[in-house]
Amino acid sequence: MANSRFEYVKNFERENYLLPDTYIVVRVDGRGFHKFSDEYNFEKPNDLRALNLMNKAAISLMKEIPEIVVAYGDSDEYSFLLRKDCELFERREAKLITTFSSSFSSYYQFYWAEFFVEPESILKPYRLPTFDARAVCYPNSGKIRDYFSWRQVDCHINNLYNTVFWNLVSKGNLTPEQAENRLIGTLASDKNEILFKEFAINYNNEPEIFKKGTVIVRELSNWKNDQEKVINTELTKKNLKNLKKADLKLYHTDIINDTFWQERPYLLI
């Protein structure tokens, strides 16, 4: 930058550096997606095209930013995990959230026509898909697991509600207001009973992507040593340098219980 008498204005700039030695979760979230989904006639309660589009945008972002080790998404949001030792953008908060939100928005728009092929689905300048982002630091692996458990529980709760709600509207001939009033105070067991008795739907048989969301993980295939004994120093020295190049795998699986994380201890070192 050339020196000039106006350069003093740079002194007004302030950077917020995220805490060192903490995990960073960057969550992107669709802006105004209720109106957006109505504008482009998303299927209710779930539009598989939209979910697959979200997944493709997330995979593209993980390829662009190899520091992301695992991501979880459902509906119009995605959470991306950066390891404790990540120094991406020197951990500058503004740089992280603007890069994640702008890149995700760009990928979503770029791949839109691949999933929404109808002429009436062409994106309109007054209703474009955009995403905002936030970055949160977490001190240890337990808090990270609780975070992703929270998001998956939220996915299940919202999907069960929406599945019942939209069946009451589309098949039960209720207005949205009537359906909402019908569900006030109901428990999960009540919602499952409505689905089964009134619409012959067993919620357990609903697609896993709807109930559990999507996990994208960098999969190290040969990280164990010959004796099947794993210690963190071995993982750090021998394998973690290859984590950025590891294959991306997509799952619709439980991330609340231990199995997913125990099979991939390198994610939370």
3 state DSSP class of 26: strand
Distance CA 77, CA 54 (A): 8
| Residue 137 CB neighbour total at 10 angstroms | 17
Question: Are the CB atoms for 269 and 232 separated by under 8 Å?
Answer: yes
Residues annotated in a binding site: 29-34, 75-76
Residues annotated in a binding site for GTP: 29-34, 75-76
Q: Which residues contact 187 (CB under 8 A, 6 or more apart)?
A: none
Residues annotated in a binding site for Mg(2+): 29-30, 76
| Residue 35 CB neighbour total at 10 angstroms | 10
Question: Are the CB atoms for 78 and 30 separated by under 8 Å?
Answer: no
